[in-house]
Amino acid sequence: MIKIGVTSVEQMIDAIQDFFSLSDPNVRNVLLGTILLSTSSSMIGTLAFLKRKTLINDAMAHAALPGICLAFLITGEKHTHWLMVGAFITSWLASIVIHKITTHSKIKQDTAIALVSSVAFGLGNFLLSILQHSSRSNQGGLKLFLLGSAATLLKEDIFLLFLLSLLIIVVLLFCLKRFVIIAFDSLFAKSIGIPVKQMDYLFTSLLVLAIIIGIQAVGIVLMSAMLITPAATARFWTSNVNYIILFSVLISLFASLVGTCISYMYASMPTGPWIVLMLSLLAYGSFFFSWYYRMFKKNK
């Protein structure tokens, strides 16, 4: 994405007008990519929030890094499709390892998540350092997956992002009622004939898919914030599941729009961190407003 430097109010207004005119194809690519990512990640993130799988998201996101490095080592090419396949496999393996450790040992889930997350991320950085000191000239740019680089999104990346995001959204809408029932009462879900185990596998696959399609734009480190922060923010405003999902999507879209606009106006401002910063500001603002409202209502 072509970024410009803003030094005055007039230049800022002109930059905002240029951004919303969508005349630059790079701006269109980045904005469309972040919108698709925000919609799919906020929807799946809301269900993960309801299922109390917020910490597992972070572990699976960190586990994507060794998959990316291994995919590059095996194929020798920095092809997005193969890198995503590698990230999908290692992220899925991370969720399985966490489940096995929790089920077959005395280690609690939060400890297992911390263990898998630290080991996977450490292994990923180790492989990344090996690649950076290797003689391969085409390894440059792999480090961008840590914090993301939305400006590098190409048309083929946007097309793939569109297909995978659409797949996630369609499956979530089709299975939303079952996912919600399982999140609140898995025993009741079994009693009415819902295949809980198979639905959990499906949900984990969608969650991993949402993570890997976002790491190129937002990055491995910040992807968990894209999943959880919109849902946590929406929860301050309503307790209705449908409204939580709706508000989560709207909050994520707003943060993506503002973050992308800021990164367009200022050359040193990356897109992903600014989106997460806007989400964090909305979350803190919602928390303080909710707290103030409860105190005001209590003292009234």
Q: Are 214 and 223 in contact (CB under 8 A)?
A: yes
pTM above 0.75, yes or no: yes
The residue that leads in pLDDT, 233 or 131, is: 233
pLDDT over 60 at 93, yes or no: yes
Residue-level pLDDT at 135: 64
Average pLDDT on 133-159 reads: 66
In this model, does residue 298 exceed pLDDT 80? Answer: no
Choose the most confident range, by mean pLDDT, from 61-70, 217-226, 241-250: 241-250
Place of tokens 């919600």: 180
Mean pLDDT, residues 242-261: 89
Q: Give, to the nearest 10 degrees, the angle between helix 64-75 and helix 80-104.
A: 130
Q: Tokens representing 72?
A: 């590059």
Lowest-pLDDT range, 15-24, 138-147, 220-229? 138-147
Residue 247: band (very low, low, confident or very high) from pLDDT cuts 50, 70, 90 = very high
Which of 81-95, 233-247, 262-276 is predicted least confidently?
Answer: 262-276
Query: How many CB atoms neighbour CB 81 within 10 A?
Result: 13
Question: Which residue's structure tokens are 């799946």?
Answer: 44
Q: Where are the domains of the chain?
A: 9-299
For residue 164, the one-letter residue type is: L
Band of pLDDT at residue 40, cut at 50, 70 and 90: confident
Tokens at residue 294, please? 């409860």
Residue pair 84/114 in contact (Cβ under 8 Å)? The answer is: no
Question: pLDDT tens digits for 95-137?
Answer: 888 888 888 888 888 888 888 888 888 888 888 888 777 666 5
Mean pLDDT across 187-198:
88
To the nearest 10 degrees (0 to 180), the angle between helices 223-235 and 25-50 is 60
- Do the Cβ atoms of 209 and 88 come closer than 8 Å? yes
pLDDT at 140 over 60: no
Q: Which pLDDT band, with edges at 50, 70 and 90, does 251 fall under? A: very high
DSSP assignment letter at 137: G
Report whether 78 contacts 72 (CB < 8 A).
yes
Spatial distance between the Cα atoms of 165 and 285, rounded to a whole number of angstroms: 29
Q: What is the pLDDT of residue 2?
A: 46
Q: Is the pLDDT of residue 7 over 70?
A: no
How many CB atoms neighbour CB 261 within 10 A?
Answer: 18
Residue whose tokens read 């979530």: 172
Q: Taking residues 31-42, what's their average pLDDT? A: 83
The CATH number of the domain covering residues in 9-299: 1.10.3470.10
User: Is the Cβ–Cβ distance between 186 and 199 less than 8 Å?
Assistant: no
